Structure 1
Amino acid sequence: MKLTKKFQFLHEGTEQQGRPTLLNEIYTELYITDAKEIIEECEIRQIETAAMKAVTEDRPINCNDIFTRLPGQNQPIRTVLTKGFAGIGKTVSVQKFILDWAERKANLDIHFIFPLPFRELNLINDKKLSLLDLLQVFFPETKEMDIFSDKYKVLFIFDGLDECRFPLNFPSNEILQNATKETSVDVLLTNLIAGNLLPSALIWITSRPAAADLIPSKCVHRMTEVRGFNDPQKVQYFRKRISDQSLADRIISHLKSSRSLYIMCHIPVFCWISATVLEKMLSQAESGEIPKTLTQMYTHFLIIQTNIKHEKDYEKNVTDEDMILKLGKVAFQQLVKGNVIFYEEDLRECGIDVTEASVYSGLCTQIFREEFGLHLGKIYCFVHLSIQEHLAAMYVHHTFTTQKINIPIFDLHQKAVDETLQNKNSHLGLFLRFLLETRYHNLEKTVKYIKKKIEEHPTPEKFISLFHCLNDLGDSSLVEQIQRYLNQRALTTAKLTPLQWSAVVFALLTSENLDVFELKAYAWKTNCAQMVRVLWHLVPVVKASRSVRYVIMTMHLRNSIIQTVLLFILYHLIYFEIKPSVHFVIFHRLAHCELTPKCCRPLAEALASESSCLMEMNLNGNVLKDAGVKLLSEGLGSFNCKLQIMGMNGCGVTDEGCAALASALISNPSHLRELDLSFNKLGGRGVQCLSDGLKNALCKVEKLKLRKCDVTDEGCAALDSALASNPSHLRELDLSGNNVRDLGAKWLFVALQNPKCQLKILRLKECGVTDESCAALVSALRSNPSHLKVLDLSENKLADSGIKLLSKGPKCPAIGLEQMLTGCGITHKGCGALALALTSNLSQLKELNLSNNAIGDSGLKLLSDALQSPHCKLQTLGLNDCGITDEGCDALISALTLNLSNLSKLHLFGNEIGKSTEERLLSIHPMGFIASLSKPHFILV
């Protein structure tokens, strides 16, 4: 009942003089999403990009569901940190959560909620209290209640972390587990948040982004972000706030006519300020120029609030000007310190008598807010940070012009611009805009200086505010020029300066629709160096867009500087907020780009980012060596890595790099499905390391390529162990070009006997295997129904004797495999054994490649007879360079014209076949037969 009474009203302005409204009548759903990470970002930059971010690229979260686990999430959510800049709606979200709980509408499993704003906790920071004492100070009714019992579910809400005035020293504070032991408020809160004290209690903390990192990430189970109103919610707010719907439509229309004002409406408090001003200005009772800029809007708001004082019987001992200047002094001093709340001693420093504080609050009813922290003292703040910045700018301008009359106004502007650019957190962005937008006749020097600074500061966090300043000063020449380029789609040919590229970014970020960004319009016909420059400048646009299309995927870069810059862009885009809905994989093909080990650091960090969307990375042909592989392995082993395909063919990797990769493969979880390490000198020890990784149950690698990696029988023994492990996910293994020999092949064939082995494709091309291995293979396949479907034994000395073993007997399991037997020394004798196997009623052989074997016409005649058998399932037959002439083809044509064969693909390159014979072959099965003869890739359809 107490919480219902306290939180049922929304006070827009001060609680004492403001117009109270039932929260449920005016509450407009805010846009809340899961946040990727804590990033310290300037307030003004957030304001400008938040409107673009508040589209449907992230799934919105109802404020009542912030402790609800997502699908597939097993870990319970204990501590939630909600970030968002000033006035975006964090406190209102807390208020709505509490009110819905108090009215039994949501979160009924929670028994007690204790809201403890930091601004009120600051007032008792010097006291020694136990947690029980602390609650009884704020909630006396808990004195006789056993609220810490295990049968109760308790939620603590700490609103306004950025207003906290004690250190929250998590590393140094003592560990506290006793709720009745007295200590400082700082120690109580750090132990409560860290879970040392009441580990079952739920914790909700809200904060502006700049202060969010005061809470260690290990203490936070969920990070959410309040993004304020998206465009439909802005309209909804004004329709609820303004009872006259016709007037509401006019207000909305006016705000939409100014892009900068409409972006600011993303902030609920600014919507209230705009409604207050425009409701007066657009009514019949008021006249004058309607505000079109930010400064104009705030100046009118100040005038309206000051006029309220004249309508009420306040004391006359303080003039309006004196009051505004003193408030401005407080605003400026606290802004420089980074404070949004202040206390009685702060007022005294600025010449404000604390006994008259209520008079100051009353004079500017909804500009300056006075709040009571229980019976312990008074807390002061401005309704919104932007109002504080506006008053601070008025104070600085007045002080400068009255005390330094002989110094040009340009000196003030220059100093303000420099201070804002040098400020670490850039929280002076709006202050600068308010200060510069003063109507003087000679501001050319200021405009010129701002353009110079934009060119010197290419990062968007710095130049975006300066572009707004140019617009507010009435100079939009740069943006208008760029807009012409954009309209004509002429940026691909224009040679833009850094200053003009900054204007491109500003124009795009403030465009009406940034849902889809077509990058090809800006970098379609560019060389690599131009592409780098374009991408570098357009990074903030890519980040703000809902989707980006047509990024050039393959870049064969030969310049080490260019590729280093590209990798930095990759890191920058992925590490900072790239979204899953972006429809591309950035720079995933970097084969033969002369990358060096040092380039692997940004790639690894990109792979390890929570927001990484990289699924494939081709680094073939780059000399990364073991040092680079070790760095990449750090990214591969991260829980956040989503990479499924990795190519490091010919990268100078040895057994040392394999050890790092093996460690990554057993990380939890590993998403990697395909790994290509071909043409590296891994040796037996390297393969042993990989095998150890493959045996781990968490390793999901299905395809492993180790062509020409110096693998011997020793390595095959290690792979045998991996293939027989449980579970073994490996489905394809390529060991072509290694000195495996018969002993190594036998180890692999032993693995095939194990029912846990799931191998489907085995490639042993050019591995020194002889007919001796064929007997072991047949034996292995007979002993256990193998999953093997494809066997490549090309370029091995199997000879006819080996083929006879593979094809011996009608029940030989080898006849069910797709066999690659090119260059195996097979003659017509071997073809006889194959023909017999093909006619078996158990034959499942669909693909057979006998290219580069001396089978001649006699061998082809034997195979042609087999093709006529109803049991033959062969669909593809490779006979390139087999010594075949027209004579052999006659038998083949005869078999095919009977229309009994399943054969649909035939390869006969490099044989002595006449033109007339070719024409006869190509005339067979005209709707489906593909014959590759003397003309490569000739297809008959």
Structure 2
Amino acid sequence: MNLPDLNTPWTVSQNQHSHVSVKSVNSMLDPIDLKIESLFSAQRFHMNNFTDFHSKSAMECQQEYKSRLKDKFQCIHNDMSKQSMFLNDIFTELYITEGESENVNKEHEVRQIETVLRRKTTIEIPVKCNDIFKHSPEENRPIKCVLTKGVAGIGKTVSVQKFILDWAEGSANQDIKFVYPLPFRELNLMKGKHFSLIELLQHFKMETGFEGNHEKQKVLFIFDGLDECRFPLDFQNNAKLRNPTLPVSTDVLLTNLISNNLLPDALLWITTRPAAANQIPLEYIDLVTEVRGFNDPQKEEYLNKRINDKHLSGRIITHLKSSRSLYIMCHIPVFCWLSVTVLERMFNAPEDEEIPKTLTQMYTHFLLIQTHAKNMRYTKEHNPGPEDEDMILKLGKLAFHQLKNGNLIFYEEDLMACGIDVKEAVVYSGVCSQIFKEESALSENKVYCFIHLSIQEFLAAIYVYYMFKVHQINVLDHEEHQELKETTLFELHKSAIDQAIQSENGHLDLFLRFLLGLSLESNQSLLQGLLFQSGSRACQSIKETIDYIKKMIEETSIPEKSINLFYCLNELNDLSLVKEVQRFLNSGHFSKLSPAQWSALVFVLLTSEEKLDVFDLKKYIRSDEGLTRLLAVVKASESALLDNCGLTMRCCRALASTIGSSSSNVRVLDLCNNSIGDKGLELLTAGLENTQCNLEELRLSYCRITTRGCSVLESGLLPNLPNLRVLDLCENSLREAGIKILANYLKHQHCKLEILRLKDCRVTTQGTIAIASALQSNPSHLRELDLHWNNPGDGGVEKLSAVVKHPLSGLETLWLSYGLLTEKSCQSLASALRSSFSTLKALDLSGNAIYDGAVKMLSHGLGSPHCKIEILRLASCEITEVGVDDLASALASNPAPLRELDLRQNHIQDFGVSRLAEVVKHSNCRLETLRLGDSGVTKDGCAVLAAALNSNPSYLRELDLSSNELTDAGMRLLSPVLKNHSSNIMKLDLSQCGLTTDCYDPDCKLEKLILY
């Protein structure tokens, strides 16, 4: 280990933190192995006395240490039989993908799962967990501190175990000299004690690897389970520490290690559940990764692997898909394993039992299976006994009280507080390890936990319901030293519902589902003989509870709350609201929905098997109120199409809050043709303040935005959209002043716009010059500039042409139609096209009276070997066959790049067509679209064109000859080309060409033929 002279304080090396790139990890591990037995409960270190460091070489010390780690981490323990499996035999590599870098939200993990399932997963870059400390491929920067997050049971700990094992076996990361696994559940046992860093490592019997010359060596500290930490990590107020020999509290040691004060060259790896991730300031983290569970294909792959019988696996998969709540939970590998445990037995059972369709039913059967298996193994009894009920209730009490306190890891004092004898816990851990387990710490202490948070929530619900059923009391409302009062079933339910709704992070959501599900007589009958066999057996109607839940659905404005309430109704077998809204979905009429029905619509859309890649508000309703009701669906979508929906400024603040949420998936927001105005932009800006919105495309065409709105965009809205790539402001009255304001935004280095659309925005010459000047300052990002129907003037085009010639310019598309341009603009553009730096691929000059002389000038650029133009549009430019002659000559000398040529509404005549035909039949011609509508073409032109296409038929896909006097004779000349097996023409426009029905040839293989 790279420890300093113990008498000399270390100095802190400068640590430059770059921005946090977020990754996500997708695991295919066998869920049985995911924390069923903690990696820290395996064989204990067998070193009683530390190595005599002066009598052994550093290499010998390291090899002995690796050998001990290999013995400890090479096996995964599972099942009640305590059988072990080699980790290398079952481990499947993880996957890392790009993600967000902000602090995670504190939501219940089931909510997070639902969000993860709707995330974009198209950009997945597989990276082995062993490469987690390698340099970023995009940024040559060292990665020293990694934070890995993921919900319980998802694979964090096993990925850590694999990393350690590969290092110990010498197969990876051999540049690291020592790896120190220090789980928080064990560091908790050091609370209140003072150690130096060296003493702490010695306490856990870890090699410190001193050498006489104190040569620097790279070391890695792994802190597993930040969410289990029971002491504060006060980075602001903890004393600075640079001396590893100075005794301090554990939290001071950790904060100084993480903040690079102590051992600044050490690597750190911290794992945590998402809700606790923000305990570590982002400034200290170089890389954030996320361990994900199974996506839908991986669920099926796992289930097929776990079940040898393919017919049975198919039945189980079909059943799980039939219940959305169960299928969503299968995202967690542990729940996949739990489901297989239950369903495999039930589908193979000779008796005709009801197959579980709800979470409560699934967990009830799981509890019964584990209890039955324990009795068969240790008492040879089929039926549960009193000791089972007693222990389950004690565990339930422990689960309930620790759930209220937010604890997942328990210690001896926690067990004793619930009447659980430590020896009894050890025994029960041994015989029912699939529910509750004891884990050996690296020290001599014990820690305890449930295999998954959902098991803890289920047992907590059993305890709460049992206390009501047997004693008619409500422990939910009970405070310490307060007398317990009798209650009714509805009062118990109401209390639980209210507390779940009031919980900001949803930590009681799943508990509430279980509590309500246990109230059904069908689920109680499953537990007969184990629980609920005493006390009142009066059948109490739960209709009052259902009515109350529906009332809360009407009143709650938080979508996540109402969605959980619908899952609660599902646990109570009430699907009336969902069925009602499904009828509306079938009819397409949504104007008369009640608030509860709107919530039901949100629930149905969010829990549908279909991905919400695109949400189109027009399919449902067109109003501010309708949008507000469906904002949860907007947040889950990647593209929100809200155009032409009669929206006003009233919806803008709520919309901004939705798309600015850290859990929002929205990348494209289309608000075109809505009257939101400048005030709406102000409200959008206010709603996005202090957020890092993920929006990539913002469409605001025809939204009544003025110069004032441009000021709002430049100073408030656009800086809050760091990922914005497309901005559409077409058909707004921005005028010269507004364009100059936007130009100020374009020149800033934080601007990453690739497409800017300003069609019909009253852009003048001075406005165009301002845009061009901004692009000269920041030329590398903009790819497309749309100035259709503006007046950029020859001076503006001259400045834009200079941008095209800039060595760093990335401009590829320039739309300048109907811009009152003259011959001078074509001269400037021709010069730009001849530049070796030009990247321009698409140019539209349609609607400008440039005449033949300008086309001749432009042709000098088009014929250049440097010209890269693929799309050239010159419709309605007063061009004659003379101009086409020059154009054809240029294209003949450089025909390869051109893909589209538009010469509609010009006077090119048959001679012009014959010159273009020479280009078409050129072997290097790759023309795919040719538009010659209303250009004076007759059947003679058709003959020449048909001959050219027969010579080189492979590329042309679209041909427009509309509004020409072709007659049936012209069509007959083209027909052989269309039937040619080498022809790729799929769209042919011959409308208004004087044709009759007699000319139509049904053998022509066209996708679209326009005759009239």
**Alignment-derived partner of residue 588 in structure 1:** 670
128, 146, 159: which is aligned to 1:93?
A: 159
Matching of residues 166-565 of structure 1 within 5 Å? 166-173=231-238, 179=244, 183-195=248-260, 197-198=262-263, 200-230=265-295, 260-261=325-326, 263-271=328-336, 273=338, 293-297=361-365, 299-300=367-368, 303-304=371-372, 307=375, 311=379, 323-347=391-415, 349-350=417-418, 358=426, 367-375=435-443, 377-400=445-468, 401-403=471-473, 406-436=486-516, 437-438=518-519, 439=521, 441-442=539-540, 443-457=542-556, 459-480=558-579, 489-492=586-589, 495-506=592-603, 513-514=609-610, 524=619, 527=622, 532=627, 535-536=630-631, 538-539=633-634, 543=637, 555-560=643-648, 564=652
| Separation in 2, partners of 1:729, 1:894 | 43
| Separation in 1, partners of 2:290, 2:560 | 19
Structure 1 residue 623, shift from structure 2 partner:
0.9
Structure 1 residue 462, shift from structure 2 partner:
1.6
| Separation in 2, partners of 1:832, 1:28 | 71
Structure 1 residue 687, shift from structure 2 partner:
2.9
**Alignment-derived partner of residue 19 in structure 1:** 82
Matching of residues 599-638 of structure 1 within 5 Å? 599=681, 602=684, 612=694, 614=696, 617=699, 619-620=701-702, 622-628=704-710, 630-631=712-713
Structure 1 residue 819, shift from structure 2 partner:
9.8
The answer to whether the 8 Å contact 1:575/1:606 transfers is no
The answer to whether the 8 Å contact 1:735/1:764 transfers is yes
Secondary structure in 1 matching 2:501? helix
The answer to whether the 8 Å contact 2:884/2:915 transfers is no
Secondary structure in 1 matching 2:438? strand
| Separation in 2, partners of 1:423, 1:359 | 36
Secondary structure in 2 matching 1:142? coil
**Alignment-derived partner of residue 146 in structure 2:** 80
| Separation in 2, partners of 1:244, 1:865 | 74
The answer to whether the 8 Å contact 2:769/2:800 transfers is yes
- RMSD, aligned CA: 6.0
| Separation in 1, partners of 2:395, 2:732 | 69
What residue identity is the alignment partner of 2:279? Answer: L
| Separation in 1, partners of 2:599, 2:136 | 39
The answer to whether the 8 Å contact 2:339/2:362 transfers is no
Q: 1:42 to 1:767 in 2, by over 3 A?
A: same
Secondary structure in 2 matching 1:467? helix
**Alignment-derived partner of residue 680 in structure 2:** 598
The answer to whether the 8 Å contact 2:371/2:432 transfers is no
Larger Rg over CA atoms = 1
Secondary structure in 2 matching 1:140? coil
What residue identity is the alignment partner of 2:594? Answer: T
| Separation in 2, partners of 1:282, 1:112 | 50
Deviates more, 1:476-485 or 1:748-757: 748-757
Secondary structure in 1 matching 2:493? helix
Q: 1:518 to 1:166 in 2, by over 3 A?
A: closer
Q: 1:411 to 1:760 in 2, by over 3 A?
A: closer
**Alignment-derived partner of residue 806 in structure 1:** none
What residue identity is the alignment partner of 1:623? Answer: I
What residue identity is the alignment partner of 1:102? Answer: A
| Separation in 2, partners of 1:120, 1:788 | 65
Q: How many residues align?
A: 858
Listed one character per residue, the Cα deviations across residues 752-781 of structure 1 (whole Å, up to 9, x for unaligned) are: 88765666888889999999x989979998
Secondary structure in 2 matching 1:114? strand
Structure 1 residue 923, shift from structure 2 partner:
8.7
Secondary structure in 1 matching 2:87? helix
1:118 equivalenced with 2:181 (yes/no): no
| Separation in 2, partners of 1:648, 1:657 | 12
The answer to whether the 8 Å contact 1:663/1:693 transfers is no
Structure 1 residue 85, shift from structure 2 partner:
1.9
| Separation in 2, partners of 1:235, 1:905 | 50
What residue identity is the alignment partner of 1:426? Answer: G
Q: Percent identity?
A: 37
Structure 1 residue 483, shift from structure 2 partner:
5.9
Structure 1 residue 563, shift from structure 2 partner:
6.3
710, 716, 723: which is aligned to 1:641?
A: 723
| Separation in 2, partners of 1:683, 1:940 | 42
The answer to whether the 8 Å contact 2:731/2:760 transfers is yes
| Separation in 1, partners of 2:750, 2:963 | 50
Q: 1:653 to 1:148 in 2, by over 3 A?
A: farther
| Separation in 2, partners of 1:413, 1:871 | 81
- TM-score for the superposition, normalised by structure 2: 0.67
Q: 1:702 to 1:686 in 2, by over 3 A?
A: closer
**Alignment-derived partner of residue 223 in structure 2:** 158
| Separation in 1, partners of 2:614, 2:815 | 40
| Separation in 1, partners of 2:573, 2:823 | 83
Matching of residues 698-709 of structure 1 within 5 Å? 698-703=780-785, 705=787, 708=790
Secondary structure in 2 matching 1:396? helix
| Separation in 2, partners of 1:655, 1:308 | 84
Listed one character per residue, the Cα deviations across residues 299-321 of structure 1 (whole Å, up to 9, x for unaligned) are: 426744885897499xxxx9666
Structure 1 residue 417, shift from structure 2 partner:
0.7
| Separation in 1, partners of 2:322, 2:859 | 81
**Alignment-derived partner of residue 809 in structure 1:** none
| Separation in 1, partners of 2:860, 2:295 | 65
| Separation in 2, partners of 1:381, 1:920 | 84
The answer to whether the 8 Å contact 1:593/1:621 transfers is yes
Structure 1 residue 899, shift from structure 2 partner:
5.9
Structure 1 residue 413, shift from structure 2 partner:
1.1
Q: 1:161 to 1:557 in 2, by over 3 A?
A: same
| Separation in 1, partners of 2:241, 2:582 | 61
Listed one character per residue, the Cα deviations across residues 391-422 of structure 1 (whole Å, up to 9, x for unaligned) are: 32333334453555643121111011100110
Deviates more, 1:194-203 or 1:92-101: 194-203
Deviates more, 1:300-309 or 1:322-331: 300-309
The answer for unaligned runs of 5 or more in structure 2 is: 1-66, 474-483, 522-537, 896-900, 921-929, 950-958, 978-987, 996-1008
What residue identity is the alignment partner of 1:571? Answer: I
The answer for unaligned runs of 5 or more in structure 1 is: 580-584, 793-816, 824-830, 854-859, 881-888, 910-916
